[in-house]
Chain A
Amino acid sequence: SQTIHQWPATLVQPVGSPLSLECTVEGTSNPNLYWYRQAAGRGLQLLFYSVGIGQISSEVPQNLSASRPQDRQFILSSKKLLLSDSGFYLCAWSVGSGANVLTFGAGSRLTVL
């Protein structure tokens, strides 16, 4: 069966520090991968998606970046965090080219102080 792992689960970072969140998927090949952000009490905002290794599409301008070095690995990074980067970050995966079920990771709660 397929599983998705996301880490770290919680982190507190100072403004201006770097960030790296990692997501891996097991049990499937060539998944579509996504990074979402959810501000406190708010909806889901798509940040990045990837349909293959090295293929990254950005949905919103920001100081975040994403990379997909391996088929089932998706990384969210920042060189210098801002206060506004605080939130709940969710990795997700799906298969196929059409719209279908998104399976989310457990999330990473980031607090920037």
Chain B
Amino acid sequence: RKEVEQDPGPFNVPEGATVAFNCTYSNSASQSFFWYRQDCRKEPKLLMSVYSSGNEDGRFTAQLNRASQYISLLIRDSKLSDSATYLCVSPTGGGNKLTFGTGTQLKVEL
């Protein structure tokens, strides 16, 4: 099993829709996760941290399910500007190393 697995998409949704992505992880001891956003040909940028049970920030909600070893990202009221690739991130051993998933592509359309 890969350390982090994501559905690559693309998810094509209309503006205003609610969309959810899931990500599975293999390290059962992990307790902190992250969602990053990466625009085309740009650097990854931190979107949300996911500690303990979950986190909410405006239109974005991240949940952690330890029993099934997955985290999710929910985006409500999608905007055109939400179009990007969303990277799921899990810790990997010492040195604060992180494993980045290959990303889920979201396209929000008019």
B is bound to A: no
| A interface residues, Cβ below 8 angstroms from B | none
| B interface residues, Cβ below 8 angstroms from A | none
